[in-house]
Amino acid sequence: MEPEHKAVLRKFRVHLSDQLLVSDSIVPFLFQEGVLTEAQVEQVEGQLTNRQKNLKLLDILPNRGPRAFGAFLEALQDFSWIRDQLLLELQNTASAGTPGQNTPGTGST
């Protein structure tokens, strides 16, 4: 996962932990896409509250490789307002951090 993706997840950690229902569609999708292992799914699902499940997923996700953030955004189809917030933050970060760059959210030229 790119550093800017990790930064966005860190910045929105509390907000995401309060808003998402990861068990319904997000965790199964990430498992299907090979982002999460079966053991990681069990770690997330083994948490007692929805907030704890969200936080566990957010702990695991940054270390799951280059496809993890994109797959996470795809998994947020039922939470489009959250996906839009994350994408907007990435765009703002890219604009502020690299003047003159016209590829928002990528962090590359």
> Which DSSP symbol is given to 25?
I
* Predicted confidence (pLDDT) per residue in 29-51, tens digit: 999 999 999 999 999 999 999 99
Rg of the Cα trace of the chain?
14
Half-sphere exposure of residue 64: CA atoms within 13 angstroms, side-chain side: 22
Nearest-angstrom CA–CA distance, 10 and 48: 22
Global pTM reads 0.83
Residue that the structure tokens 């292992």 belong to: 37
Q: How many CA atoms lie within 13 A of 20 on its CB side?
A: 29
pLDDT exceeds cutoff 60 at 107: no
d(CA 72, CA 87) in angstroms, rounded, equals 12
Q: Write out the two tokens for 2.
A: 């790119």
- For the chain, percent of residues with pLDDT exceeding 70: 88
